[in-house]
């Protein structure tokens, strides 16, 4: 877990200033203004960071990090014409992500962020 958090922090620390990201919305990080640790989210889709993996259509993709059960997987993502997201990971696995499950956030440090856009219907 510490290793995964360290890797996620290292990825985010590459930004010289605040960075725009999409995060899988969950309690504590879904409503505008919610502040949270990036280590508490399972998926981070970077809006400006280029895909650095040798994957199909890499020039059209952006960096992606997924964490689950202490393991971290890097990958790349792109928006589809229907607004959802296509992800390909470093092992070649592919998945589709529902855009309605993601909140917009802005990093505030190398390990924290604040929600700037909530998913539709997520907050009162």
Burial of 15 (0-12, 13-18, 19+ CB in 10 A): middle
| Host domain of residue 109 | 2-117
pLDDT at site 85:
97
- Residue 77 covered by a domain: yes
- Domain count for the chain: 1
Whether 123 is covered by a domain: the verdict is no
Residues of the chain with pLDDT under 70: 1-16
Give dist(CA 18, CA 59) in Å, integer: 23
**Chain segment 11-45, per-residue pLDDT in tens:** 444 445 799 999 998 887 899 999 999 888 999 99
Residue 57: predicted pLDDT: 86
pLDDT at site 14: 46
Asked, for residue 109, whether it belongs to a domain, the answer is yes
pLDDT at position 29 is: 85
122 occurs within a structural domain: no
Structure tokens at 74: 């890097």
What strands, in cross-sheet order, belong to the sheet with 20-24? 35-37, 112-117, 102-107, 20-24, 43-50, 62-68, 71-79, 85-89, 94-97
The β-bridge partners of 94 are: 88
Query: 0.95 cut: is pTM over it?
Result: no
- Domain membership of residue 26 (yes or no) is yes
Residue 69 lies inside a defined structural domain of this protein: yes
Cβ–Cβ < 8 Å for 22, 103: yes
Is 89 inside any structural domain?
yes
Within a domain: 124 = no
């Amino acid at each position: 877990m510490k290793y995964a958090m360290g890797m996620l922090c290292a990825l985010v620390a590459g930004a010289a200033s605040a960075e725009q990201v999409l995060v899988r919305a969950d309690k504590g990080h879904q409503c505008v203004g919610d502040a949270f640790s990036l280590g508490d989210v399972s998926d981070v889709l970077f809006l400006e960071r280029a895909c650095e993996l040798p994957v199909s259509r890499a020039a059209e993709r952006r960096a992606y990090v997924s964490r689950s059960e202490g393991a971290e997987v890097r990958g790349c993502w792109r928006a589809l014409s229907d607004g959802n997201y296509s992800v390909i990971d470093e092992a070649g696995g592919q998945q589709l992500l529902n855009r309605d499950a993601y909140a917009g956030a802005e990093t505030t440090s190398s390990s924290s962020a604040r929600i700037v856009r909530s998913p539709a219907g997520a907050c009162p």
